[in-house]
Chain A
Amino acid sequence: MEIVISIGNEVVHLDKSTTNILLDYVGILIKLMGGAAIVVTLLFYVCLDLVAQKTMAKAEINGYLDKAVYTDYIRSLKFLNTEVVEVSPNWGEKVEKLGDPLTLTIKNKFPVTIFDKEINIEFKVTKTGINQGYYGEGY
């Protein structure tokens, strides 16, 4: 296989060994980019999971999902582009009694531009918990 490169008016014919070396480097580059993408996605996922987990842990004690707690954690992770998908019950709304379920779903999306095309990589984290600390109204 021979590669022909055109630089301006000049045409360069690469010989077989140079082509092989070039292809090797392209392969390594693709592997490195793939590896980096996987590591970054994992890192983002772990951060998002941590935020959801910390917010839920607090909610399980207080009996409600506190937006201030969530915002505090998110503010410290500025590189995340998050969006709250589902909150049950609503922010600040207390559950009725012990054992009532709490749900929080957060979505993170980060745009990646490859060859002038924008691709949004999205992933969701859902955390469920149960009220373990709030007795209910009247106590």
Chain B
Amino acid sequence: MGDYKNGNVIPAREQVYPAPNQGGVSLNRSLVFLVSMIIISSLLSLCISMTAIWKQMDDVRKVCNVAVVSAQKNGGFDEETVNLFYEMISRDNLEIEDVQYIPDKGVQVQKRDELQIRVKPKVVVNIPFAGVKIIDVGYIEVSGNSHKYWK
């Protein structure tokens, strides 16, 4: 029996058969799949961790913003503003390391004077394969100008 190649009959003894599978291709594919899976899972973990960090920072930024708006309304970081700030922090289960009020608590400022709050949040993230970590994100600063006019 023969086969056809370019219209000519090839004798059976000249036919070239593929080499038996040595397992190389299969191993390579498995390795590529494994490495891809590791890379994808690492990237996903990183994304999840980054989202958690970003969300906590965004929540703290919102709370700071409300505190500054309240200070703008009251003409300084008075007791009401400070209480509201801590109430929001506890309600949203946020953790903070340090708070700085500029000017200090209880100081009244004139209309258009600058008010600033600096907060250092304690960002706690559960990183897969690494456990719970505290990330240092520095200070979050929110500023505004007083709307209240003291006679």
Contacts and interface: CB of A to CB of B under 8 A. Distances in A.
A133 B69 contact: yes
A89 interface: no
Interface residues of B, number: 11
Interface string A105-135: 0000000000000000000000001111101
Contacts of B65: 132
Give the dominant DSSP class at B's interface.
helix
B62 A98 contact: no
Interface in A28-63: none
B70 interface: yes
Contacts of A139: 73
Nearest to A128: B92
B88 A130 contact: yes
Contacts of A130: 62-63, 66, 88
A66 B91 CA distance: 25
B102 interface: no
B75 to A, nearest CB: 13
Contacts of A101: 91
A70 B70 CA distance: 27
What band does the interface of chain A fall in when counting residues whose beta carbon is under 8 Å from B? 10 to 19
Nearest to A131: B66
B105 to A, nearest CB: 17
B70 to A, nearest CB: 5
B73 A99 contact: no
Nearest to B87: A99
Interface in B133-147: none
B96 to A, nearest CB: 16
A132 B73 contact: no
Given A98-B66, A99-B66, A99-B84, 19 more contacts: A97-B84, A98-B69, A98-B70, A98-B73, A98-B84, A99-B87, A99-B88, A129-B62, A130-B62, A130-B63, A130-B66, A130-B88, A131-B66, A132-B62, A132-B65, A132-B66, A133-B69, A135-B73, A139-B73
19 contacts: A97-B84, A98-B66, A98-B69, A98-B73, A98-B84, A99-B63, A99-B66, A99-B70, A99-B88, A101-B91, A130-B63, A130-B66, A130-B88, A131-B66, A132-B62, A132-B65, A132-B66, A132-B69, A139-B73
Interface of B: 62-63, 65-66, 69-70, 73, 84, 87-88, 91
5 A-B pairs with least C-beta separation: A99-B66, A98-B70, A99-B88, A135-B73, A99-B84
